[in-house]
């Protein structure tokens, strides 16, 4: 026991299986991927893999498709996460009212979209919003509204709305749990002072909810960067390249054009971006915990 | 005076409830419409104005008896169960160690979170090339390996939050009673977080079950999982849509049922002990 503690303690032995698993399925592929990114590595010419240093990275600077995909992704992430936060918070406030009956029923149903596979969500909405076959354009047509949901102007916005349908529940889940665990005394004090509902929301609820909101924002934001299935199911990046997101573009370069080196380099740029965001998330979390 | 205020409050409350009901309809309508479509006879599938008709089980019979969907369903089950099994076995001791001894300090938790958030684009190229070299493309093993990359960190993160709540006295008492450290973990601590383990397992299962990105690239032919098969209904010919509706329902109904069981555990799990509510 004593020798074990000084040499290879119990706490470290317990993480060996996890460390080995992640080494095989995660770390090794990551390192290999970096190696690939330094090579001209095409699936159609596997016998001719050449070291080209940072060329794959430098080439990205002059690749308009890469920048377009990055821009679309940023627009998508900010649009979707903003709407999801506002709607999620509003719904959480509505569900949190003490006078509400059937709260569990409402909550259980409202949370369901976040559990189902995104490809099914994409296909459902492709069907629902289709010009000829869809029920929504049909209903809107009855009241004289015609919208081309997946035309060049609206396609990215429609994809955002689909994301809002699926992921507002995630925000609702976290916000509702946050609201339920807030201390009661500040709210009683505000009521005794005769503060209006809006004043209480702004000066009591929101400041108390700040840590939860920050965590929810960043988790959802990082997750939204991975948007792929809706694009794959509905627009395949079109019309033109107006809905081509970064994950879809990397998929295209790797598995349609077979340019593995270039795809790996783009993925590493994405990693840098993601790690930076996760680092900020971690700093915010630990700062709150230490306080 | 008092009565008019009461009246106003009732009115406001009614309005707010109405908003909730509208939200409920927005959430439920797509399910309802897909279900309706799955019951439509072939000639009505492409006609959104038809809401009332005599239902037909043609699509259901066709998909469940005359297509490969049951096989893809089985693939999804095999992949998800294997992934969760491996992930639980390696994640539970590690999560306990992180929670109880803070092994590796903040850096470890940061790495787990980073692994969880890693964009799949980063791993798909090397995983594809490795599976290609190992001649494992289009096997369950390839998809399981890919799913382990995100299910393992998620389950580890999930369990940390549950282990944090186990009182230290529990295992100390067990060791006084003559258990070794590992026995105390295995026979005392682990059973006390059983609901957390179940929730983590279900959540991991759902994540694996729902993935299409990795499965799309690493599997094909007979090894396809259900989400990849659903994506194959991309052609929008009328006859395909009824079947698509059935396949979608087959993929989402089990998960919807599971969701009702894990909802109340999710917040603690997602917070991973880092968010204290």
Count of CB atoms within 10 A of residue A201's CB?
15
Question: Which pLDDT score, from 0 to 100, does residue B115 have?
Answer: 84
Q: Cβ separation of A26 and B97 shorter than 8 Å?
A: no
Chain B residues within an 8 Å CB radius of A166: none
Q: Verify that B25 and B123 share a domain, yes or no.
A: no
User: Per residue in A176-204, pLDDT tens?
Assistant: 989 988 888 999 899 898 888 899 999 89
Q: Tell me which residue of A76, A38, A95, A46 sits closest to A242, measured CA to CA.
A: A76
Reported confidence tier of residue A291, pLDDT bands at 50, 70, 90 = very low
First-to-last C-alpha distance (Å) of chain A = 37
In a domain, B243, yes or no: yes
User: Per residue in B151-176, pLDDT tens?
Assistant: 999 999 889 888 988 888 888 888 88
In a domain, B276, yes or no: no
Residues B201-226: what's their mean pLDDT? Answer: 93
Q: Cβ separation of A11 and B103 shorter than 8 Å?
A: yes
Question: Which pLDDT score, from 0 to 100, does residue A58 have?
Answer: 92
User: Per residue in B233-246, pLDDT tens?
Assistant: 876 565 688 899 99
Q: Cβ separation of B97 and A15 shorter than 8 Å?
A: yes
Could you list the beta-strand ranges (E) of B70-211: none
Worst-scoring range by mean pLDDT, A107-121, A260-274, B200-214? Answer: A260-274
Does residue A280 sit at the B interface (CB-CB below 8 Å)?
no
Q: In the predicted model, is pLDDT for residue B46 greater than 60?
A: yes
Domain count for chain B: 2
In a domain, B277, yes or no: no
Question: Which pLDDT score, from 0 to 100, does residue A277 have?
Answer: 75
Residue A103, min C-alpha distance to chain B (Å): 10
Give, as one character, the DSSP assignment of residue B219: -
Q: Which of A91, A268, A281 is closest, CB to CB, to B23?
A: A91
Which residues, at least 6 apart from B41, have a Cβ–Cβ distance to it below 8 Å? Answer: B53, B54, B56, B58
- State which residue of chain B sits closest to A245, comparing Cα positions: B121
Q: In the predicted model, is pLDDT for residue B109 greater than 60?
A: yes
CATH at B174: 1.10.3720.10
What is the average pLDDT score of chain A? 89
Reported confidence tier of residue A286, pLDDT bands at 50, 70, 90 = low
Residues A142-155: what's their mean pLDDT? Answer: 90
Q: In the predicted model, is pLDDT for residue B224 greater than 70?
A: yes
Percent of chain B's residues with pLDDT above 70: 95
Q: Verify that B54 and B64 share a domain, yes or no.
A: no
Q: Tell me which residue of A120, A225, A270, A220 sits closest to B212, measured CA to CA.
A: A120
Q: In the predicted model, is pLDDT for residue A128 greater than 80?
A: yes
Q: Verify that B72 and B6 share a domain, yes or no.
A: no
Category of B178 on φ-ψ map: left (φ > 0), alpha (ψ -120 to 50) or beta: left
Q: Cβ separation of B120 and A226 shorter than 8 Å?
A: yes
Q: Verify that B209 and B81 share a domain, yes or no.
A: yes
In a domain, B74, yes or no: yes
Residue that is written with structure tokens 């005076």 in the block: B1
Q: Model's pTM, two decimal places?
A: 0.91
B59 and B38 Cβ atoms separated by less than 8 Å = yes
Residue B41, min C-alpha distance to chain A (Å): 15
Q: Verify that B136 and B245 share a domain, yes or no.
A: yes
Does residue A286 sit at the B interface (CB-CB below 8 Å)?
yes
Total residue count of chain B as it appears in this document: 277
Q: Verify that B90 and B220 share a domain, yes or no.
A: yes
Show which of residues 214-253 on chain A sit within 8 Å of chain B, judged by CB atoms: 215, 219, 222-223, 225-226, 228-229, 232-233, 246-247, 250-251
Question: Which pLDDT score, from 0 to 100, does residue A255 have?
Answer: 93
Q: In the predicted model, is pLDDT for residue A73 greater than 90?
A: yes
Q: In the predicted model, is pLDDT for residue A5 greater than 60?
A: no
Q: Verify that B82 and B167 share a domain, yes or no.
A: yes
Q: In the predicted model, is pLDDT for residue A152 greater than 50?
A: yes
Question: Which pLDDT score, from 0 to 100, does residue A2 have?
Answer: 47
Does residue A91 sit at the B interface (CB-CB below 8 Å)?
yes
- State which residue of chain B sits closest to A182, comparing Cα positions: B277
Residue B239, min C-alpha distance to chain A (Å): 12
Chain B residues within an 8 Å CB radius of A275: 114
Whether a cis peptide bond, with omega within 30° of 0, leads into A151 is: no
Q: Verify that B46 and B71 share a domain, yes or no.
A: no
Question: Which pLDDT score, from 0 to 100, does residue B272 have?
Answer: 54
Residue B260, min C-alpha distance to chain A (Å): 6
Per-residue tokens: B250: 């087959």
Question: Which pLDDT score, from 0 to 100, does residue B222 have?
Answer: 86
Reported confidence tier of residue A57, pLDDT bands at 50, 70, 90 = very high
A124 and B249 Cβ atoms separated by less than 8 Å = no
Q: What is the DSSP string of B77-88?
A: HHHHHHHHHHHH
Domain edge (last residue) among B31, B58, B85: B58
Q: Verify that B92 and B217 share a domain, yes or no.
A: yes
Q: Cβ separation of A21 and B26 shorter than 8 Å?
A: no
Structural domain including B83 reads 60-271
Q: Which of A10, A33, A123 is closest, CB to CB, to B244?
A: A123
Count of CB atoms within 10 A of residue B224's CB?
23
Q: Cβ separation of A270 and B230 shorter than 8 Å?
A: no
Q: Cβ separation of A22 and B16 shorter than 8 Å?
A: no
Q: What is the ipTM of this complex?
A: 0.91
Q: Verify that B85 and B119 share a domain, yes or no.
A: yes
Q: Cβ separation of B185 and A14 shorter than 8 Å?
A: yes
| C-alpha torsion A155→A159→A165→A168, nearest 10 | -130
Q: Verify that B67 and B149 share a domain, yes or no.
A: yes
Per-residue tokens: A94: 């509505």
Give, as one character, the DSSP assignment of residue A181: T
Reported confidence tier of residue B63, pLDDT bands at 50, 70, 90 = very high
Chain A residues within an 8 Å CB radius of B100: 11
Worst-scoring range by mean pLDDT, A3-12, A65-74, A113-122, A130-139? Answer: A3-12
Q: Tell me which residue of B125, B130, B150 sits closest to B142, measured CA to CA.
A: B130
B123 and A34 Cβ atoms separated by less than 8 Å = no
Q: Tell me which residue of A92, A52, A47 sits closest to A213, measured CA to CA.
A: A92
Q: Please state which CATH number belongs to domain A63-290.
A: 1.10.3720.10
Torsion angles phi and psi, residue A245, rounded to 5: -100, 175
- State which residue of chain A sits closest to B266, comparing Cα positions: A173
In a domain, B66, yes or no: yes
Q: Verify that B15 and B119 share a domain, yes or no.
A: no
Give CA–CA dist B269/B199, Å, rounded: 8
A254 and B124 Cβ atoms separated by less than 8 Å = yes
Chain B residues within an 8 Å CB radius of A250: 121, 124
Q: In the predicted model, is pLDDT for residue B216 greater than 90?
A: yes
Category of A55 on φ-ψ map: left (φ > 0), alpha (ψ -120 to 50) or beta: alpha
Q: In the predicted model, is pLDDT for residue A3 greater than 50?
A: no
Worst-scoring range by mean pLDDT, A278-287, B94-103, B104-113? Answer: A278-287
Does residue A27 sit at the B interface (CB-CB below 8 Å)?
no
Between chain A and chain B, the number of residue pairs with CB atoms below 8 A apart is 258
């Amino acid at each position: 026991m004593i020798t074990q503690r000084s040499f290879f303690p119990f706490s470290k032995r317990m993480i060996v299986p996890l460390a080995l698993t992640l080494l095989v399925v995660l770390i090794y592929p990551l390192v290999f991927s970096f190696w690939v990114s330094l090579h001209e590595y095409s699936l159609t010419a596997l016998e001719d893999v050449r070291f080209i240093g940072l060329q794959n990275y430098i080439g990205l600077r002059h690749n308009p498709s890469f920048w377009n995909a990055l821009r679309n992704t940023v627009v998508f992430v900010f649009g979707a996460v903003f709407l999801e936060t506002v709607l999620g918070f509003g719904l959480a406030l509505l569900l949190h009212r003490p006078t509400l009956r059937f709260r569990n029923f409402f909550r259980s149903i409202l949370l369901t979209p976040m559990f189902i596979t995104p490809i099914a969500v994409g296909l459902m909405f492709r069907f629902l919003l289709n010009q000829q076959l869809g029920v929504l354009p049909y209903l809107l047509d009855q009241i004289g509204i015609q919208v081309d949901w997946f035309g060049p102007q609206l396609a990215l916005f429609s994809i955002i709305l689909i994301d809002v349908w699926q992921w507002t529940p995630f925000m609702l889940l976290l916000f509702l749990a946050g609201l339920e665990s807030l201390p009661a005394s500040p709210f009683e004090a505000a009521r005794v002072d005769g503060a209006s509902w809006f004043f209480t929301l702004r000066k009591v609820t929101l400041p108390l909810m700040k840590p939860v909101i920050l965590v929810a924002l960043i988790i959802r934001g990082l997750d939204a960067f991975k948007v792929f299935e809706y694009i794959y199911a509905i627009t395949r990046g079109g019309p033109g390249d107006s809905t081509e997101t970064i994950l879809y573009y990397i998929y295209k370069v790797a598995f349609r054009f077979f340019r593995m080196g270039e795809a790996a380099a783009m993925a590493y740029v994405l990693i840098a971006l993601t790690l930076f965001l996760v680092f900020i998330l971690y700093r915010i979390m630990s700062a709150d915990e230490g306080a | 005076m008092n009565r008019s205020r009461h009246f106003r409050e009732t009115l406001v409350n009614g309005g707010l409830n109405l908003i909730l009901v509208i939200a409920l309809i927005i959430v439920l309508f797509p399910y309802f419409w897909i279900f309706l479509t799955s019951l439509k006879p072939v000639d009505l599938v492409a006609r959104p104005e038809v809401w009332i008709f005599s239902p037909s089980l043609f699509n259901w019979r066709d998909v469940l008896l005359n297509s490969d969907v049951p096989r893809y369903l089985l693939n999804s089950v095999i992949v998800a169960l294997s992934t969760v099994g491996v992930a639980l076995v390696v994640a539970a001791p590690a999560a306990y160690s992180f929670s109880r001894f803070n092994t590796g300090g903040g850096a470890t938790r940061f790495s787990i979170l980073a692994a969880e958030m890693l964009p799949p684009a980063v791993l798909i190229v090397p995983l594809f090339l490795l599976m290609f070299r190992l001649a494992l493309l289009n096997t369950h093993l390839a998809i399981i390996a890919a799913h382990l990359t995100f299910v393992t960190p998620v389950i580890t993160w999930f369990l940390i939050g549950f282990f944090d709540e186990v009182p230290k006295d529990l295992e100390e008492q067990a060791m006084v009673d003559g258990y070794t450290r590992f026995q105390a973990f295995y026979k005392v601590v682990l059973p006390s977080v059983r609901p957390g383990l179940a929730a983590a397992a279900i959540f991991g299962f759902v994540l694996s079950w729902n993935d299409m990105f990795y499965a799309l690239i690493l599997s094909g032919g007979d090894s396809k999982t259900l989400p990849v098969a659903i994506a194959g209904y991309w052609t929008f010919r009328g006859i395909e849509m009824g079947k698509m509706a059935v396949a979608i329902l087959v993929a989402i109904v089990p998960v919807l049922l599971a969701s009702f069981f894990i909802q109340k555990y999710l917040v603690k799990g997602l917070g991973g002990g880092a968010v204290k509510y």
